[in-house]
Every structure is written in C-alpha cells, then in structure tokens.
Amino acid sequence: MSTEKFVRAWFIVGTDTGIGKTFATCALLHAARSRGKIALGMKPVAAGALRIGDEWINEDAAALRAAGSFDPGLALLNPCCLREPIAPHLAAAEEGVHITPAPLLAAFDALRRQAEVVLVEGVGGFRVPFSADYDSADLAVDLGLPLILVVGMRLGCLSHALLTVEAIAHRGLPLAGWIANHVDPAMLRPEQNVAALEERIPAPLLGRLPWRADGDPQRAASALRLPD
C-alpha cells in the first residue's frame, strides 16, 4: 500500500505588481494552518533584497517564512533571490545569473515533501521575464499547478484581470479561483467591479480581502478559503 503523502499546492499569480499577492498568500497560509494543515509558502524568484546578518532576504520571502508552519530555509523558500528591486531579467543580468527552471522545480519538490499545503507565489504579474527565453508564465506551466489569481481592486483592474485570465487559459492552465484584494480604500464602485469580475471570470471567488491599515494577514485569513 502506498504511503505517499497527499499534498495540495497552488501557484499564486497577480494582475500586476504591488497588488497584494504576498498579503493574500500569507492570509491563505494562515487559513490553512487554522485548519490544522502544515502549510509552507515559496517565492521561487524575487528581486530586491537586504543584507541581514549573513543572508540576503527579500521582503516577500520573509513574510512567507513568518506565515508558514515552520522555516524550511531560504534555499528552498526563495531559491533565486536577486538584490536589486527591478525586473528579474534585468537584476539577473546585472548579477550574471541565468534563471533556469531546474533549481526552482527542485526546491518546490523538496518543500512539498515537508508540508500538506504549499503556496507558490509568483513575481509581479503573470508574464514577468526571467531571461530572454523564460518567464513567470513558463514557470507556471513547468510547475503544472492550479492557479489562484489575486486581483488588486483599483481603477483599471477589470482589464488587467481579464487579460490575465485569458493568458492563463491560453496556456491550458487550470484557474482554481480568484481573490479580490481591496488595495485602494478610495476606489469608486467596488461592489460593482467585483460583480463584473464574478460574471466574467470562469472560476470561483475565494474571498475578498478588505483594505487593512495594519497589514496583518493572520487577521485577514478568515476572509478567504482555499479552493475545493
């Protein structure tokens, strides 16, 4: 009889940069942990890091590490950490790094052997270049995971969200659900915008994250659910 552990994993993508992918991913990690699951986050590629002690640490990776059930180590959690907060392909070129899928996929495989839930957070929007011939959409295909789309609810989000959904479908990737993250507390007609996306996105709304001045993902976890 097989003793292989069943692990659920999703790839978290966003409509753009700065729309709260990390906040949503951390909230989902806390939601999984509140249900008794061993949950870990992963940021395969990150651009922008600070030297802390003997480590280069990306802010998003640090947040995922804090939200997970335990610290698996930065080598697995964030296998490609680039120092400058610029587009990854530019940062990689400046550092003489060529981003390839093999180490990213190996780190993911190692993480999923340690957890019951793994949430892999992308970088920027869905199609962020890593090199001349590889980008974040290619990584999504290589991982082969169902996707969760985080939509930053602000002016312009409708087109960004629907174009991203179209790009996901074009690659034959399953969209497991989407999250409405209210990043702009002054946005006009938020209810109508959410309704417009519910009518047009062929996947369930997994929850709405209200704008939070405290930025505490653990308190926001109750607003979300993991896909069925």
Distance CA 222, CA 64 (A): 17
Reading the block at residue 63, the tokens are: 């947040």
Residues β-bridged to residue 150 = 14, 179
Segment holding 219, helix H or strand E: helix 217-220
Other CB atoms within 10 Å distance of the CB of residue 169:
12
Please tell me which residue in 5, 21, 37, 43 is annotated as part of the active site: 43
Q: Which of 97, 55, 53, 95 is nearest to 78 (CA)?
A: 55
Distance CA 51, CA 28 (A): 28
Annotated catalytic, 5? no
User: Distances from the Cα of 52 to the Cαs of 6, 62, 171, 196, in angstroms?
Assistant: 35, 11, 39, 44
Other CB atoms within 10 Å distance of the CB of residue 38:
16
Q: Which of 114, 108, 112 is nearest to 80 (CA)?
A: 108
Distance CA 66, CA 16 (A): 24
Q: Which amino acid belongs to residue 186?
A: A
Other CB atoms within 10 Å distance of the CB of residue 72:
19
Catalytic residue numbers read 43
